[in-house]
Amino acid sequence: MSTHFHFTLHKTEGCARLSTFQTPHGAIQMPAFAPVGTLANVKTLEPRDLHEAGCELLLSNTYHLYLRPGHRLVEQFGGLHRFMGWSGPILTDSGGFQVFSLAHKRKLDEDGVTFRSHIDGSRHRFTPESVMEIEQALGPDIAMVLDECADPLNHAYIVQALDRTHRWAERCKKAHTRVDQALFGIVQGGIFPELRLESARFLTELDFTGYAVGGLAVGETKEEMYSTLDVTCPALPVNKPRYLMGVGAPEDIVEAVYRGIDMFDCVLPTRIARNGALLTPDGRLNIRNAQHAEDPRPVQADCACYTCRNFSRAYLRHLYKAEEITGLRLGTIHNVHFMLELMRQIRAAIAEDRFAEFRTVFLARYQISNQEVRHQQRERFLANQRA
């Protein structure tokens, strides 16, 4: 690990880990959650809102920034931190997931992947080398290798995709030269234990600064996701951060921390906020429901966020019903705060050796939302894979 990055494992309770990851733009207390700012912006929020919520890591999407406004423009403005006015740590994904789930007319070969932009249909190509060039120009603290995100349940396909993903990881490692940027490898292998172990072994030998578990939360069941983590986490180096990509449902975060994951990102809290779904310790609350029309209480009585300190459910419902932008913003502030507060509670529980108890109490109270959403997610993912 270069002098720009330092991972300190303070304490464990079972598989759960309390740690700090030091980056050039500050320390990240882990387990950590990163809100997603797809286009160098967390929708409806400003950097000062994120600082106020205690956010220590932001995720931005390489695929989206490459298409718009372009990585060279961001570089010209001093990189992502200066371009978007965020002084804390940033992570960018490799764009692989978007190419395989969002872009059109993908054509995959050994060297890379050619695709058409979902915005204007223009033709583009990503290779491990070009993605490293893009991420180094964007300048986040943490960059991810280019990988292929395949259907996690398709064994025959994953077997051949995995070898290519490993060769791409090697090429990314070679092409990556910025010492003030950490490069993380991504373990793939679907829901198949032997493939996950093979992937973890291969990538560990390449000696990345951190490791992600990719290719999950794309439609497998929760049980399949958890058992994949049970297999994968023990196969990863103890002295490096572990990142579960794209997972952000509160119950999944608690279960993944329990299995040894240190960091998370997800659009879920911000996306559902804009639909009027607000997170509480009891589960999601739909602020548009008629039952809130005359309710003077805040969304969550013991929440310290700006929204809960100042506004009633009745007022928020009114804003959502009237389609006022302020409603979306206040809802997003609350959901981001909820996630970061959840991580603070998780860290405190591990520090005090009561995370197992915290998990039991949290999961007993938190009402898990319908898995229907997961099935739809899978249908969409597969439809795009075929397209």
The catalytic residue positions are: 93, 265
CB nearer to Zn ion: pick between 152 and 281: 281
| Shortest distance (Å) from residue 299 CB to Zn ion | 5
CB nearer to Zn ion: pick between 305 and 342: 305
Window of 6-14, 23-31, 42-50, 326-334 that interacts with Zn ion by CB under 5 A: 326-334
- 113-116 vs 104-108, strand pairing mode: antiparallel
Phi, psi for residue 279 in degrees, rounded to 5 = -85, 135
Contact 61, 220 (CB under 8 A): no
| Shortest distance (Å) from residue 22 CB to Zn ion | 30
Q: Name 186's bridge partners.
A: 212
Residue 327-356 contact track with Zn ion, rule CB under 5 A, x = bound = -------x----------------------
Spell out the residues 6+ positions from residue 72 whose beta carbon is closer than 8 angstroms to its own: 137
| Shortest distance (Å) from residue 309 CB to Zn ion | 8
| Shortest distance (Å) from residue 343 CB to Zn ion | 15
> How far out from the chain centre does Cα 125 lie?
24
Residue 143-182 contact track with Zn ion, rule CB under 5 A, x = bound = ----------------------------------------
Q: Name 116's bridge partners.
A: 104, 123
Provide the greatest CA pair distance for the chain: 60
Which of positions 293-322 make contact with Zn ion (CB under 5 A)? 303, 305, 307-308
Contact 42, 332 (CB under 8 A): yes
**What gap in Å lies between CA 281 and CA 385, rounded to an integer?**
36
CB nearer to Zn ion: pick between 210 and 298: 298
- Residue identified by tokens 């999944």 is 252
69 three-state secondary structure:
coil
| Shortest distance (Å) from residue 278 CB to Zn ion | 8
Per-residue tokens: 387: 């397209």
| Shortest distance (Å) from residue 373 CB to Zn ion | 23
CB nearer to Zn ion: pick between 219 and 269: 269
**What gap in Å lies between CA 249 and CA 271, rounded to an integer?**
12
277 binds Zn ion (CB under 5 A): no
- Give me the DSSP letters along 90-139: EEE--SHHHHHHTSEEEEE-SS-EEEE-TTT--EEEE-HHHHHHHHHHH-
Contact 91, 61 (CB under 8 A): no
- Residue identified by tokens 């419902």 is 317
Contact 383, 298 (CB under 8 A): no
Nearest to 298 by CA among 331, 270, 274: 331
| Shortest distance (Å) from residue 249 CB to Zn ion | 18
- Give me the DSSP letters along 324-359: -HHHHHHHHHHHHHHHHHHHHHHHHHHHTT-HHHHH
CB nearer to Zn ion: pick between 146 and 308: 308
CB nearer to Zn ion: pick between 142 and 279: 279
CB nearer to Zn ion: pick between 226 and 306: 306
Nearest to 350 by CA among 20, 15, 16: 16
Query: How many residues sit in the footprint of Zn ion (CB under 5 A)?
Result: 5
CB nearer to Zn ion: pick between 136 and 332: 332
Spell out the residues 6+ positions from residue 195 whose beta carbon is closer than 8 angstroms to its own: 155, 158, 159, 162, 188, 189
| Shortest distance (Å) from residue 295 CB to Zn ion | 14
Residues found near Zn ion in the complex (CB under 5 A): 303, 305, 307-308, 334
